[in-house]
């Protein structure tokens, strides 16, 4: 058999809540799953942009003092 070599990684948040009846007995679970992959990617891009901006500012300040 061949292998397609496709691998996908996602970042998710899962939440589980237990629902109880009036006698405090568990009767149901409520589960939600949210894919936050795009949000995490955007956060990483923003952090990289801020780091690049700080490095550029530091470079400019250094050159301003030494030229």
| pLDDT per residue as tens digits for the range 29-67 | 999 999 999 999 999 999 999 999 999 999 999 999 877
Neighbours of 1 (CB within 10 A): 2
Tell me if the pTM is above 0.85.
no
Query: CB of 12 within 8 A of CB of 33?
Result: yes
Tokens of 45: 């891009």
**Domain spans in the chain, listed from the N-terminal domain onward:** 12-66
Q: 54 or 3, which is more confident?
A: 54
pLDDT of residue 7: 81
């Amino acid at each position: 058999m061949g292998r397609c070599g496709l691998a996908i990684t996602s970042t998710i948040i899962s939440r589980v809540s237990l629902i109880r009846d009036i006698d405090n007995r568990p009767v149901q679970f409520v589960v939600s799953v949210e894919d936050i992959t795009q949000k995490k990617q955007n956060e990483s891009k923003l952090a990289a942009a801020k780091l690049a901006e700080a490095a550029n500012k530091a470079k400019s300040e250094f050159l301003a003092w030494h030229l």
